[in-house]
Amino acid sequence: MCSPEPISFSPLTRANFALLQKWLAAPHVSIWWNERFDLADIETKFGPRVDGKEPVYTYLIQHESLPIGWIQWYRWRDFPAHAAEIGAGLDSAGIDLAIGEVELTGRGLGPGVIREFRRDYIFTNAGVEAIFADPSAANLRSVRAFLKAGFEVVDTIQLSGEDFSRHIVRWPRPSDRPMLPDAR
């Protein structure tokens, strides 16, 4: 049976950088990213990910084959200081996403994107025991999207240097996908 909202993912490439810049500048995205990016900044931040030199795995989100945003995952063990602040185990994964096309937000796509990505891209890695994300508590839409995807809020914290709180949301590795030593 065909899904009414087919979602797919493809590895981010430099050909997507202008689109990424447009999405990062969109008000519904930039309000949650405390950074501003020109194309040189995008190259600095995302170039090493595209080249496989930084262990952050970034993908384009496609809806009915059209690019609508980006999503990425990483192992918290590669960011131990941040992991310690949010209470994420070093064998767990982090996830960030944004639907950059504002007219495609608020339609229920986000929870499906999270579900499909964690199943097909994160838990395919045998050593990942859970996923932790840390959306701003004020980003009600993001928090709600994680809850709709089955995550639970396990903590609410304020990171050092920030003046707002974040909800820590967690999703455990499914019991039907046994954990094995990580390939890395």
Q: Can you give the binding site for ligand COA, defined by CB under 6 A?
A: 28-29, 32, 69, 97-99, 105-111, 135, 139-142, 144-145, 148
Find the shortest distance in angstroms from Cβ 152 to ligand COA.
15
- Based on CB atoms, which residue is closest to ligand COA, 29 or 128? 29
Q: How many CB atoms lie within 10 A of CB 79?
A: 17
Contacts of 98 (CB under 8 A, 6+ apart): 23, 24, 29, 32, 33, 69, 70, 71
Is 18 in contact with 60 (CB distance < 8 Å)? no
Contacts of 21 (CB under 8 A, 6+ apart): 37, 38, 39, 42
Find the shortest distance in angstroms from Cβ 43 to ligand COA.
22
- Based on CB atoms, which residue is closest to ligand COA, 66 or 126? 66
Angle at 33 between CA 29 and CA 38, to 5 degrees: 85
- Based on CB atoms, which residue is closest to ligand COA, 92 or 105? 105
**Closest residue to ligand COA using C-beta atoms:** 110
- Based on CB atoms, which residue is closest to ligand COA, 107 or 177? 107
